[in-house]
Amino acid sequence: MTHRPFFSIAPVRPLYPEPEPGACSAQRFLVVRGNNVLLVPGTPAPAVVLEKNLPAGSVTGPDQYLGRQEGTCYYASEAAPDAELPEGAVFVSPRELFGRIPDPDVALAAYATRMIDYDRSTRFCGRCGAKTRPLRTERARLCTDCNRIVYPRISPAIIVLIKKGDEVLLASSPRFPKDLHSVLAGFVEPGENLEETVHREVREEVGIEITNIRYFGSEPWPFPDSLMIGFVADYAGGEIHVDPGEIRSAGWFSRDNLPLLPTGMSISRALIDAWLRHEI
């Protein structure tokens, strides 16, 4: 059984080729500055998806096509340093939007910041230094000199919930707020398959052996460019010995004795919640 975690830009789909000008029945805009997105006050709730873009001169560079839902096309724009903003509008991290606006809009806001960053960082070829230009047929940029094609970077990472009888292994990272615990995660190394990464990360971070690895689900996590691939595994042996550079503390927890957990809007919490419901 696979699970579809929270974080997805559906129902807006990044379909290509990009529509020709005038082909969309409506347009919507998200405005980005740095890694933040513009949040505009409104009733009954604030919004990041705007019916109109900022005035001319308040955005820089071409709009970045994000995708479309039925006849509506969505775009990301980069705000100019001296942009004229709507009254009360502020730039916030997409992470701060959880629970404040609809879930798909949170995902769309993170996607917008990711695509603006991609455009900003790939305007020149990393091989020869020449300018690149966007392709309309796919999400890519083409070097105007050596013809190298540059795609958005995606960094695959595994995340795994480990079961031992009626308990699960949860760990606290030095990067977490105090007392927050979650499941283990780590990036895939070149030459590894996903199952090898799961075994290696578990050994490196907590020193135990696991078995019976099975797929749970996946989730884009554009902070800035991860793709999280979730697994469930069973404890096979060994004592917990943490890597202090990666893990502050780790232990086995039962359903009636849980520490502070991550938010419900991440695959880490989706894994834990599925275990709490006896689904995995």
Amino acid 128: pLDDT:
97
Per-residue pLDDT band at 166 (split at 50, 70, 90): very high
pLDDT, tens digit (0-9, with 9 covering 90-100), for 4-42: 555 666 667 777 788 887 888 899 999 999 999 999 998
pLDDT, tens digit (0-9, with 9 covering 90-100), for 57-66: 899 988 899 9
Amino acid 96: pLDDT:
87
pLDDT, tens digit (0-9, with 9 covering 90-100), for 176-232: 888 899 999 999 999 999 999 999 999 999 999 999 999 999 998 888 889 999 999
Amino acid 8: pLDDT:
66
Whether pLDDT at 2 is above 60: no
Give the burial string for 216-230 (b: 16+ CB within 10 Å, else e).
bbbbbbbeeebebbb
Q: What is the mean pLDDT of residues 95-112?
A: 88
Q: What is the mean pLDDT of residues 68-81?
A: 91
d(Cα 231, Cα 159) in Å, to the nearest integer?
6
Q: What is the mean pLDDT of residues 87-114?
A: 90
**How much is the pTM?**
0.86
Per-residue pLDDT band at 1 (split at 50, 70, 90): very low
**Token duo for residue 195:** 């199952």
Q: What is the mean pLDDT of the chain?
A: 91
Convert the chain into a string of H (helix), E (strand) and C (coil): CCCCCCCCCCCCECCCCCCCCCCCCEEEEEEEECCEEEEECCCCCCECCECCCCCCCCEEEEEEEEEEECCEEEEEEEECCCCCCCCCCEEECHHHHCCCCCHHHHHHHHHHHHHHHHHHHCCECCCCCCEEEECCCCCCEEECCCCCEECCCCEEEEEEEEEECCEEEEEECCCCCCCECECEEEECCCCCCHHHHHHHHHHHHHCCEEEEEEEEEEEEECCCCEEEEEEEEEEEECCCCCCCCCCCEEEEEECCCCCECCCCCCHHHHHHHHHHCCCC
